[in-house]
Structure 1
Amino acid sequence: MELRPRLVSGEVTVRPGRPEEVAPLREILGEPSVARWWGEPAPAAELAVDLAGEGGAVLLVVEVAGEVAGGIQYDEEQDPQYRHAGIDIFLGGRVQGRGVGTTAVRLLARFLCGPREHHRLTIDPAAANGRAIRCYEKVGFRPVGILRRYERGPDGTFHDGLLMDLLREDLRPDPATT
């Protein structure tokens, strides 16, 4: 079964990345609006492994109108009793606030709930990241609870996270196709 799909909706494409896209992805991860939530960019070698699909998570490129705009990744729990997938996404400042994140998350969620046959997806934004939370809610994710002192931020202190999940039947349709 395909692990690294090519998914398209309008001008947004989610697709496997290429080695030469490690540098642009690291640049995006280093932008203040991204680094605020993600911290320092991963080393190029680590990002290259994830981009090649050889790490624990599958990292895909988010492309807008033919240009690298960010990355979206998923990981899968394969234990049949707990089988589900988790998603993470980062987008460069030039495409933030334009619906690109909602489209990319919806595309990946449809893939994970469809061909990958997951019944539940999770995502865990920083509790203070209202923009990300609204994006995920538009796709159908619902808050589960606060993860207290969940992650260490770039400032060195721990910050709360929000655990959200989506059941297959909660996945909202793409307004562009309805």
Structure 2
Amino acid sequence: MEGIYRDELITLRRMKDCLEDYSLLTKWLSDPSVAQYYEGKSKLYDMEKVLMKFGPYARGEERVIPCIIEYQNTPIGYIQYYKAHPDEYDESKVVDMTKYKNTHGADIIIGETQFWNKGIGTNVIQMMIRFLFENENADIIFIDPQTWNKRAIRCYEKSGFNPLMVAKNRELLDDIPKDSLIMAITAKDQPLYLL
């Protein structure tokens, strides 16, 4: 399998356009405990919905690059990255986007709940940060957890992301508009332990 980044325990690999990878996402996004952090418990995914949303990503038809997270060779989650549009994060009043030429965004789901609260998500985010700075020449990376998701925010702060602003009604969770915390990290302010 194509690993884009790995260490002794964790591998980030490109998601493949195959039943095996679509089945993983279907399993994870049909679990209400996982879905509550994605689109909501009332928005569970079946295979058809997974194929519609993630198929174009896996086939390279969209700018989103989907990856499977493996822990000790076992698939446990999903992370994606993408080249962000300059106005995508609505942060023009906070960040001078004219200073950045290669902006990226990322999103993560740990789908196997037995791996929650073990620091694995933080390690994965740190790997993705290194990958985007070293391999994709990103100059700034954004992430946008919903403001109520304190666990994700702590993970991102531990990884060096700085909170920038609250974007009102940015995402829907169970069809209810929720605020997101726009966070960013630049190559110059990434923590030394990430180098």
TM interval, short-chain normalised: 0.7 to 0.9
Task: Render the CA deviation track for 1:35-63: whole Å, top value 9, x for unaligned.
Answer: 11212334324313213333220000001
Give the aligned partner of residue 120 of structure 1.
Answer: 140
Give, in angstroms, the shift of residue 100 of structure 1: 1.3
In the TM superposition, structure 1's runs of 4+ consecutive aligned residues that sit over 4 Å from their partners are: 78-82
Q: How does 1:50-65 map to 2 (within 5 A)?
A: 50-65=57-72
Alignment of 1:97 onto 2:117: yes
Q: Contact 2:165–2:182 (CA<8 Å) still a contact in 1?
A: yes
Task: Render the CA deviation track for 1:76-122: whole Å, top value 9, x for unaligned.
Answer: 03779443000000012121111111111111111111121111000
Alignment of 1:164 onto 2:183: yes
Question: Taking structure 1 as the reference length, what is the TM-score of the superposition?
Answer: 0.87
Per the alignment, in what secondary structure is the counterpart of residue 7 of structure 1? Answer: strand
Against the structure 1 CA distance between its residues 112 and 29, is the aligned structure 2 distance closer, same or farther, given a 3 Å change threshold?
A: same
**Cα distance between partner residues in 1 of 2:115 and 2:22:** 18
Q: Contact 2:68–2:77 (CA<8 Å) still a contact in 1?
A: yes
Give the aligned partner of residue 30 of structure 2.
Answer: 30
Against the structure 1 CA distance between its residues 130 and 103, is the aligned structure 2 distance closer, same or farther, given a 3 Å change threshold?
A: same
Question: Taking structure 2 as the reference length, what is the TM-score of the superposition?
Answer: 0.80
Number of equivalences: 172
Q: Contact 1:62–1:70 (CA<8 Å) still a contact in 2?
A: yes
Give, in angstroms, the shift of residue 17 of structure 1: 2.1
Q: Contact 1:138–1:172 (CA<8 Å) still a contact in 2?
A: no
Higher mean C-alpha displacement, 122-131 vs 18-27: 18-27
Give, in angstroms, the shift of residue 173 of structure 1: 4.6
**Cα distance between partner residues in 1 of 2:54 and 2:84:** 21
**Cα distance between partner residues in 1 of 2:117 and 2:193:** 17
**Cα distance between partner residues in 2 of 1:90 and 1:173:** 25
The answer for unaligned runs of 5 or more in structure 2 is 87-96
Give the aligned partner of residue 9 of structure 1.
Answer: 7
Identity of aligned residues (%): 27
**Cα distance between partner residues in 2 of 1:174 and 1:14:** 19
Q: Which among 71, 76, 81 is matched to residue 69 of structure 1?
A: 76
**Cα distance between partner residues in 2 of 1:143 and 1:34:** 24
Higher mean C-alpha displacement, 31-40 vs 61-70: 31-40
